[in-house]
Amino acid sequence: MATLILTLPRTGLQAGTALDYVLSPDGKSLGMASSAPLGLLPGATAGKTTDRVTDTVLLVGAAQLSWHRVQLPKGVSGNSARLRQVLEGLLEDQLLDEPAALHFALEPGAAKETTAWVAVCDKAWLRSGLQALEAAGVTVARIVPELVPGAAPDAEQLTAIENGGQALLLHVSASGVTPWPLQASTVGRLHWPADAPLRAEPAVAALTEQLFGRSVVLQSRAERALEAGQSDWDLAQLDLVNNQRSRSLKRLGVMGRELLQAPRWRAARWSVLALVVINLVGLNVRAGAERTALQAQRKAIDTVLTSTFPGTQVVVDAPVQMQRAVAALQQNAGALGGSDFETLLGAWARTAPTAAAPTGMDFANGELRLQGVSLPAPALAEATQSLKAQGYTLNTTPNGLILKGGL
């Protein structure tokens, strides 16, 4: 997935402001690195997302963030509704600006009653940058910090960078991320070990080597941005969550338009269309085969009826007509049919309990009405199931039971 990493300028986004960006083909390897105004950024050409950018990450520079360690109280975690109020109360004495003017972001996975890092930056600056990007057609998926505090006490880093014409030292430790001016007094104060790694951007590499009296490991701004883009941090929290959801919805809409219109997805669209057509044709063929088989089965049943009872002139419902014809033959031959009084009474006698003798009986139209019969619910259910298995139907009425069925 192609990833575009944009660095938000410390002076904010204005018309014509150039942004540093890194375009990675997979989010892990370094691709193109350059700078461009909003309208010329990859992914914002003419206000439309280009085909090659599928994930956009906004990078907040280390000099624009302050880091604070807080102890979350009971009942407050990263998804608590009153998280901002709690953070404002915990950090009130540590902040130089009014809390209402600042944006807070809690470290990923922070749980209640634990110690967690809080990243703080200017809210208006961050909001205006997001709005400018959205107006230019750039949909931001995540907001990440350039550097994050070290997880272990000995996980320290020192990086010299050029920040708006000023040389800075970024000190990363378990105590936070601290920007220092790159000068002799800072070097003497830090007491950086001679065997500890020292990184520097090419623009300030010579000055760093001169002040520290040792060689440095070159690290470009693009390499540091790519490394930051792989962080699990996301500064879009609290009052920026709704904006993040809107950006996500817009991103899904853009992806949908890409699938429907982008030339690179043409083969996939034709494949999906062909698959749908093949399935529709297959379903129609199978439905036709099922209809043919059903018609053949019905024709075979009609043939059995007409061959067994040649006097049948019109076939409407072969099973019912055959049932009636068999009943007529039984009646003419003096044999008992399934709907005769004796047959129904025998079925009831075999199935019903001996204590359930009726007080009266009435037989008409193949139905045996048993009056005065009252069975407990379990016994009635058992009798109904037993008679159903024999081909009979037992119904209840206020005056008793009705038994019918059979040939």
User: Could you tell me the CA-to-CA distances from 317 to 173, 291, 294, 312, 330 in Å, in that order?
Assistant: 88, 18, 15, 11, 20
> Which pair of tokens denotes residue 210?
């001169």
pLDDT tens-digit series, residues 330-372 = 666 655 666 777 778 777 777 776 656 777 888 887 788 888 7
pLDDT for position 55: 82
- Which pLDDT score, from 0 to 100, does residue 246 have? 57
pLDDT for res 45: 47
- In angstroms, how far is CA 62 from the centroid of its own chain? 32
Residues of the chain scoring pLDDT < 50: 45-51, 407
Q: What's the pLDDT score for residue 46?
A: 39
Global pTM reads: 0.59
Dist. CA 269–CA 252, nearest whole Å: 17
Hey, what are 211's tokens?
């002040």
**Phi, psi of 100, deg, nearest 5:** -65, -25
pLDDT digits (tens, 9 = 90+) for 258-299: 677 777 778 888 889 899 999 999 999 999 999 999 888 888
Helix (H, G, I), strand (E, B), or coil: what is residue 313? coil
